[in-house]
Amino acid sequence: MPAETIIEVVNINDPDALKAVIEETGVSEASKADRIASATRRAITEKMDEDPTFYKQFSQLLEETIRAYREKRLSEREYLNSVVDLASKVARKDRGRDVPESIRGDEDAQAFFGVLDGQLKTKGDDSVTGVEAAAIAQQIIDIIKSHLIVDIWSNEVAQNNLRNAIDDYFFDVLRDEKDIDLPVEVLDDLELKIMDLARARFTA
C-alpha cells in the first residue's frame, strides 16, 4: 500500500515553521500560500471568541486575498506574500496603529476596546474618542475581575450580579456622568458581547 503523504498543519505562531514552508522546494507558490492560508484560518477560528473584532477583520482580509488570487487579480508570488503577511499579523496580534497608547501592551483591554470602539456616542452625537473607549474598556475589565468567582460561568446568580454591575456602570457612569447616549438596542448588544468576551477570556 502506498504511504499516504501527511501534510502537517503549519504553526503560524512559529516564524521558523512559516519560513520552512516558504523555502520548500518543488512546491508551487500557490500551494505554499494555500497551506499557510489554511493554517491561518484555523488559528482565527480557534481564537475568534477571545477577540472577535480583531479576528473577524483578519478573517475577512484572508478571504479577500484568497478570492483575489482565484480571480487572477494576484500573481502566485503576490498571493504568497500577502498570506504570509496576514499570518504574521494574526500570530503577533498586530493591530497596526488602531489602538490607543494606554492599552498597547494589554491584550484583554484591546479585545474589549474592539467591541466598544465606534459604538458609543455622546448625547450631542459626537463619537467617543479611542482614548475614552480604551479607558471604558479598562473600567469594564476591573468590574469583571471584581466579580470573578470560581465557576462563575456555571453560576447564574454570579453571572447576573456581573451583568447588573455592568448595567450600573453603563447607566450611572457612562450615561449620567459622561453624557453618553445609550439606546437600549446598543446597550443590549454591547452587554451580550461583553459577557461573551468575559466568558472567553476570564475563566475563574
pTM exceeds 0.85, yes or no: no
Q: Is the pLDDT of residue 41 over 90?
A: yes
CB contact set of 104 (below 8 Å; sequence gap of 6+): none
Assess whether pLDDT exceeds 80 at residue 8: no
Least confident of 46-50, 81-85, 149-153, 181-185: 181-185
Give the mean pLDDT of 142-159.
95
117 CB-near residues (< 8 Å, 6+ apart): 53, 130, 133
Model pLDDT, residue 120: 86
**pLDDT higher at 11 or 136:** 136
pLDDT in tens, 49-98: 999 989 999 999 999 999 999 999 999 999 999 999 999 999 988 776 67
Annotate 165-202 with DSSP letters as a single string. Answer: HHHHIIIIIIITTT-EE--HHHHHHHHHHHHHHHHHH-
Structural domain boundaries of the chain? 15-92, 101-201
Asked if pLDDT for residue 165 goes beyond 90, the answer is: yes
The model's pLDDT over 108-150, given as tens digits with 9 standing for 90+, comes to 999 999 999 888 888 777 778 889 999 999 999 999 999 999 9
Mean pLDDT of 24-39: 93
At 108 the pLDDT is: 94
